[in-house]
Structures are given as structure tokens and as C-alpha cells.
Structure 1
């Protein structure tokens, strides 16, 4: 689909993605689960597992938004993935 809209599909590296997610993090210093989850997943993709588990812990520490808000539904979906990844990568804690 992207090839239809563009001459070639847009590309970015995981490092570039981290930079963008970190810029979003600076805009909302208290953070949000989904952004921190994506930062962690980028670090996992780069095999930087200790850094990933640190971001997973930060994401896990954010309270869930009330479930009647759209953010609450997204938080719960992210939280399930966060817990799964924490279980998988907990051996990389520093």
C-alpha cells in the first residue's frame, strides 16, 4: 500500500524511531504507557535488553487511565503487552 502512495515505502531506523518517541516523551514528562512501550520495543529490536526492561518498568509504573476513557482502553492493551515483555526480558535487569 505504501508503495502505491510513495515512490518507495518510507523507511526509518529503530534509532530514529527512538529519537521521535523520546521527543514525545519530553512533551509529556509524566509519560504514557504506549509511548514507553514503543521505546522499549525499539530497544528490544536493537538487542538493548537492559534499556528495554528499564522502559518497560517505567511504562508499568504509570497508573491506568479510567476504562471509560479511550486512553484507558489503550492503556489496558498496552499493559498486557508490557507485562508479557517484562516476563520475557526480566533476566536483563541491571
Structure 2
């Protein structure tokens, strides 16, 4: 037959059980904080990467416009260039 715990034993058992439950909440809070920080870092990285990609695209678009203009300055018409596969640049 099980013995009934003393009041002190009962309180200690309850405290241990509560401490274990509180620890799981602490671990959950820590995991959520780390997740939020990681998402913020990823958002920053993504924004920086998109800015660099946009900058590179602008450089290549400018080079395309310059080359197209050089071709038209050399005497090629937009229609001739289109017929050989070079439509007008998307960005002017």
C-alpha cells in the first residue's frame, strides 16, 4: 500500500513538477525568439541580395541600351535589328 506523503513531500513533488513544466515554457520561449531572429536575419539577407541583383540587372540593361544605340548609330534601323533577332531594349 502506498504511503501518503507528508505535506512537505507533497509540496516538494508539486514544486518539481511545476519546475519541469516551467522549463518547457522557457525552452519554447527561447526557440521562438531564435526563430524570430533567424527570420529577421533572412529578411535582411533577402533584401540585400535582391538589391544586389537589381543593381547588376540595371548595369546589364544599361550596357544593352548602349550597344543597341551604337548599332543604330552605325546605321542599323530598329526594323533591321528586329528582323535579325534584336528588338528594341526593354529599358531605354
Bucket of the pairwise TM-score, normalised by the shorter protein: under 0.3
Q: TM-score, normalised by structure 1?
A: 0.23
Q: Is the radius of gyration larger for structure 1 or structure 2?
A: 2
Higher relative contact order by CA 8 Å / sep ≥ 6: 1 or 2?
A: 1
> Which has a greater percent of helix?
2
